[in-house]
Structure 1
């Protein structure tokens, strides 16, 4: 299956696909992508454990604290039109370093425990930086050989961060220290990432000059295609539109579960905040294990079919979290939900990138990532508003509804395009 309007690709291009060891610095570039996603996990998983403490510190409710998710989404949305333009002007090395500096700037109001509006604004910078790094990292890993495994490792690192984040955040907050001290750790990692990514990706375009990706990109530039035309091309793509809605629903469900399940256990199951705060780590541990262990299975049996199985299973176990009134049983079910959701993103990213031309990939994945973050804001924000009015149980029907949206979008996604490279 081919994409209309894209040039045919040479049959021998398979030899041009870079591997983990060719060029030699690719192994360090993959490590850099993993470190960046590890930081993303630390950032996204912490609010679930810290929201109860933030509510107490600022004297606010579910609806107000949900604004942090909106700030994060606005950062992603603002970054989407400029990701490829920034990459073309600065190169990958400087673009990723810039992304980490934006994230680091966002941590300053947290560390200072600044007024809550400043925290919401800080999340804008964090979202902007994460959008840059995610689009570049997705395209880099998807264009390596064994791309499903590489994407599984990259997104699995996000799960590792998501597993560790609530453990550390709960330990700090429950020990009597102010909750914002957690962000000293993330600030240090962001600064490390800025340096390491700058070194590892330095000279990337020169190494690939004449290879499949940079060759197509340079030909595209020589034809005079500007950023606006690239964005319009991506928006016209069925792959991008359905992919954006799919990731919107996926990330909305993931962040809603992570962000609000602790509040559900405290309010509905009378859980102790210092104890149930660790339940989120089980969810992220499941995601981590799923991405490392189950992602290769998707490549063997086919990503399209595998995703249907994963989403259906996640919906069943989410229903158990809702209906079984036992905290231990709910914690186990939640971990299984994470296990099944884990491989979904890397499998989906493979399908998206394989169905997009090289010309569309960076812009297309930037749009998909931006919509994903929007889902990671709209869904938890909506959950917070409804929880304030009706109760935290609303988390579960929202999550299950988003799983249904994922299945519908996946049904409309074209079958994976067979490429010759």
Structure 2
């Protein structure tokens, strides 16, 4: 009887872990892809030219890079559960600040915070996947990225629909849309609070020196590939589409 109870409890915990990861990938896809419909309105409201808009996206990419550099330290110090909740909370908080931002400096700072949370979330999800997906790793990672792909596809359509919603006679517009969409981060926060994640109680393994890592050609090939991916995502997906739309009108 005790073995059966323990088995059921273990299964419930595993389900909560999966819910946290899958919701995390959904939030990750949403946060990255709702900017498409919002960018023209943001540019109009703050009267930004193309150079200023490109600089804004580059600044946010810098926040993403900074977050990726310190998240592993937070995981070692506070654990993956606390770090995951912090990443979701950062995105939720940024949605509130974006909603309240009626000056460009406040908006830029709020957007920067969102990408800090975005970078933290990517590293946290990678660590969670490595710790939880001990069986059928390829299948589970494919399933996780399936949720990312679905949310990335649906996010621009949802964002467009939410911006047109009328509340008390006023459209939510892009500020309200960011608040609504990023408030979905509350769901994985709740699932993470009721979950326990493996690995935080294990001793730290010996780490490979940074100089030794820089001598690995495979690492540099990975950096090059990811760099092209980020350039395509930011330059083409975030800026070029908006620029071409105006150029051909």
Band the TM-score falls in, shorter-chain normalisation: 0.7 to 0.9
Partner of 2:61: 73
Match of 2:226 among 239, 247, 255: 247
> What's the offset of the Cα at 1:109?
2.5
Q: TM-score, normalised by structure 2?
A: 0.80
Between 1 and 2, higher relative CO (CA 8 Å, sep ≥ 6) is seen in 2
Q: Which runs of 5+ in 1 are unaligned?
A: 1-20, 271-421
> What's the offset of the Cα at 1:97?
0.6
In 1, the alpha carbon distance for the partners of 2:209 and 2:122 equals 18
Counterpart contact for 2:17–2:197, Cα < 8 Å: no
Most deviating of 230-239 and 189-198: 230-239
Whether 1:191 and 2:177 are equivalent positions in the alignment is no
Say if 1:90 and 1:22 are closer, same or farther in 2 by CA, change over 3 A: same
Encode CA deviations 1:255-298: one digit per residue, 9 max, x unaligned. Answer: 4333246425633554xxxxxxxxxxxxxxxxxxxxxxxxxxxx
> What's the offset of the Cα at 1:94?
0.7
In 1, the alpha carbon distance for the partners of 2:154 and 2:191 equals 21
Q: TM-score, normalised by structure 1?
A: 0.50
Say if 1:39 and 1:82 are closer, same or farther in 2 by CA, change over 3 A: same
Partner of 2:91: 103
Match of 1:140 among 125, 128, 147: 128
Counterpart contact for 1:49–1:262, Cα < 8 Å: no
Say if 1:239 and 1:193 are closer, same or farther in 2 by CA, change over 3 A: same
Counterpart contact for 2:34–2:155, Cα < 8 Å: yes
Partner of 2:199: 205
Encode CA deviations 1:304-342: one digit per residue, 9 max, x unaligned. Answer: xxxxxxxxxxxxxxxxxxxxxxxxxxxxxxxxxxxxxxx
Counterpart contact for 1:71–1:121, Cα < 8 Å: no
Counterpart contact for 1:33–1:137, Cα < 8 Å: yes
> What's the offset of the Cα at 1:181?
0.7
Partner of 2:51: 63
